[in-house]
Amino acid sequence: MLNRRTLLAGMSFGGILVSTRMGLAQDAMYIPLISKGFQHQFWQAVKAGADQAAAEFGVNVTFEGPDTEAQVDKQMDMLAAALAKNPAAIGFAALDSQAAIPLLRQAQDAGIPVVAFDSGVDSDIPVTTVTTDNLAAAGMAADKMAELIGGTGKVALVVHDQTSRTGIDRRDGFVNRIGEAYPDIEIVDIQYGGGDQLQSTEITKAILTAHPDLKGVFGANEGSAIGVLNGIKETGTQGVVVIGYDSGKLQKDAIRAGEMAGAITQSPVGMGYETVKAAIAAVNGEALPKTIDSGFAWYDASNIDDPAIAAVLYD
Amino acid sequence: MTATDTQQGSKPRRPASGAQQKILAFASLIVLLMFFSVASPNFLQTGNILAILQATSVNGVLAVAATLVIITGGIDLSVGTLMTFTAVTAGVVLTYWGLPMPFGIIGAIAMGAFCGFISGTLVARLKIPPFIATLGMMLILKGLSLVVSGTKPIYFNDTPSYPALSTGSLIGKLFPSLPIPNGVVILFVLAMVISWVLNRTTLGRYCFALGSNEEAVRLSGVNASGWKVAIYALAGGICGVAGLLISSRLNSAQPALGLGYELDAIAAVVIGGTSLAGGRGSILGTIIGALIMSVLLNGLRIMSVAQEWQTVVTGAIIIAAVYADMLRRSRAG
């Protein structure tokens, strides 16, 4: 029994050792990034940008985030573990900025600069915030929607959630822009699908059933946009303009195939890159602006392969 | 380790080798601690150990609740979202109604016990299988949390002392070198109390008896359904404690949180040697199981193991723990 137990223990530790990245330079600056998520392509693209900066500037970067964006407490545990490693600086995308403040204060007391990314932290602790201007970006989506449906008709929104900053900003950015510039466009429904493709599909089908004369739908993040596409496909609806957000292979394919009119892309790669770059600058005592825009752009079938656009899209 | 234990004595039919499983789990915990201490100088620092304990507190309390139900041969999938719902209840009482803190505490625990009572009634009186009944409750409570909170986090800014419930440290005030957060103390005190209930009270005795042979309990003229409802209600009340801990730690009731937490709790219970078939288990084992899970996760993070591998290793440990338990049992039997 003892032997078997030792064997089991040995196996698990073997796994740990194999997966530990050996040979990290001991003296290099260490910067952990605590993100809002991990497995979505968007966050993987942020990670790719961070890794790119790490290689370029010769620093060590790790990247972690909870399984879902609701797990505020798990994110706190990750932040606590990151602090225990005495990092040079920390990159942090807060799920709930209030909940994080005690730990961020701890970082501040230890002289560890915090760079906020993706969404801001309601506090003066972060030295800067690297983020997309979601209000302006969603406003641009509204302009494109108006242009594509000829400035009149019914549109609907499928949004990922009504509690997160990005969900609120993208919804409000779109709704406000329609409200102030396009009096003939009516927003008939705003539904929330948790960014879940299947749930967003069902929502879209329900909206299409309720409003057969719908002209367009805006999906406010990757999962929502894919759901909208699925819903339209499953009901066999024709002629509804779909505008998405972010990229990912399915959205890119849909845009190439003409099923989706186009989408707003943030620059997740740029976000990861700028976060690490700002963290290094902060460690070196350089002055930083209050916010650093990581950028956004409209893309459709006409410019999807432009090098400048292709560089910020992810699969 | 503070939780007293060994559920010997009152029930002779309980396997005598329960202690062995706990020694095994405890040994694994020690091995893990030693391994990570050697692997990284940052692991065995006071701040990090406190972070591990803090991270264990919520899952530990949920796992204690899950242990009770699992010993009866049932399963409670609603512990995570019930925790959230009780956190929202505390938010409503303290922030929306502006009542003093004790009302929030009582309200959360009472709401937890009430929801547990409903789950128990569904299982024991309406004979709905526990998996289905608590799956339904899980979804109902997830939805109600969103409805009641208006889908927004409820902050406790009007109750400035609320965060101290979990993150403050009474022990640290007495012994400044030992700033153990209150949440951790609450977990251990609760574990001791529930351990006592399981091993020294009628409720505890029927908990094991229902899991071993419910029919025999019924035939011996005992109100089996009544006791089962009581056990589910007690578990629900414990989820209320978890709701208080998590919301005071986050200084907010997060209505969208909670789904998936039941699986972490069940994993801790299983690692601790409680049988999913019912009739066998201990609170001490569950606490060790919860500690193993958070030590493992924290240690892997400290070692900068890539996140995808952290998940793989955690899964492997759960399987290894249960397999080791089965080996032991086949030898004992």
pLDDT of residue B325: 72
Average pLDDT over residues A126-134: 91
pLDDT at B261 over 70: yes
Q: Do A73 and B246 touch (CB under 8 A)?
A: yes
pLDDT of residue B22: 65
**Residue to test with chain B: of A34, A72, A122, A168, most B Cβ within 10 A:** A72
- pLDDT, tens digit (0-9, with 9 covering 90-100), for A234-279: 888 889 999 999 888 889 999 999 999 999 998 888 899 999 999 9
Cβ-nearest to A20 among B257, B303, B312: B303
pLDDT of residue B18: 58
Full-model pTM: 0.76
Helix (H, G, I), strand (E, B) or coil at B87: helix
Query: pLDDT confidence of A311, banded at 50, 70, 90?
Result: confident
Query: pLDDT confidence of B332, banded at 50, 70, 90?
Result: low
Scanning A103-162 for CB atoms below 8 A from B yields 161-162
Contacts of B324 in chain A (CB under 8 A): 4-5, 8
Q: Do A81 and B54 touch (CB under 8 A)?
A: no
Q: How far apart are alpha carbons B248 and B154 in whole angstroms?
A: 11
pLDDT of residue B7: 43
pLDDT of residue B93: 96
Q: Of B179, B157, B158, give the one whose Cα is nearest residue B170.
A: B179
Query: pLDDT confidence of A19, banded at 50, 70, 90?
Result: very low
Contacts of B252 in chain A (CB under 8 A): 72, 96, 98-99
Q: Do A1 and B327 touch (CB under 8 A)?
A: yes
- pLDDT, tens digit (0-9, with 9 covering 90-100), for B45-61: 888 898 899 989 999 99
- pLDDT, tens digit (0-9, with 9 covering 90-100), for A53-101: 999 999 999 999 998 888 889 999 999 999 999 999 999 999 887 888 8
pLDDT at A119 over 80: no
> Which is more confident, B25 or B231?
B231
- pLDDT, tens digit (0-9, with 9 covering 90-100), for B4-15: 444 444 444 444
> Which is more confident, B195 or A209?
B195
Cβ-nearest to B307 among A5, A64, A99: A64
Q: Do A4 and B31 touch (CB under 8 A)?
A: no
- pLDDT, tens digit (0-9, with 9 covering 90-100), for B302-313: 888 888 888 899
- pLDDT, tens digit (0-9, with 9 covering 90-100), for B90-129: 999 999 999 999 999 999 999 999 999 999 999 999 999 9
Average pLDDT over residues B185-198: 97
Distance from CA of B145 to the nearest CA of A (A): 13
Domain boundaries, chain B: 18-332
Least confident residue range of A10-24, B19-33, B298-312: A10-24
pLDDT of residue A22: 41
- Among A282-296, B16-30, B180-194, which range has the highest average pLDDT? B180-194
Collect all residues with Cβ–Cβ distance below 8 Å to B45 and sequence separation of at least 6: A84
String of b and e for B182-209 (b: at least 16 CB within 10 Å)? bbbbbbbebbbebbebbbeeeebbbbbb
- pLDDT, tens digit (0-9, with 9 covering 90-100), for A34-53: 999 888 778 888 999 999 99
Least confident residue range of A271-280, B35-44, B140-149: B35-44
Q: How far apart are alpha carbons B200 and B187 in whole angstroms?
A: 20
Q: Is A163 on the interface with B (CB under 8 A)?
A: yes
Domains of chain A: 29-132+268-294 (3.40.50.2300), 134-266 (3.40.50.2300)
Q: Do A72 and B43 touch (CB under 8 A)?
A: no
- CATH for B18-332 is 1.10.3470
pLDDT of residue B124: 95
Contacts of A163 in chain B (CB under 8 A): 151-153, 255-256
Query: pLDDT confidence of B140, banded at 50, 70, 90?
Result: very high
pLDDT at A12 over 70: no
Query: pLDDT confidence of B20, banded at 50, 70, 90?
Result: low
**What mean pLDDT is reported for chain B?**
89
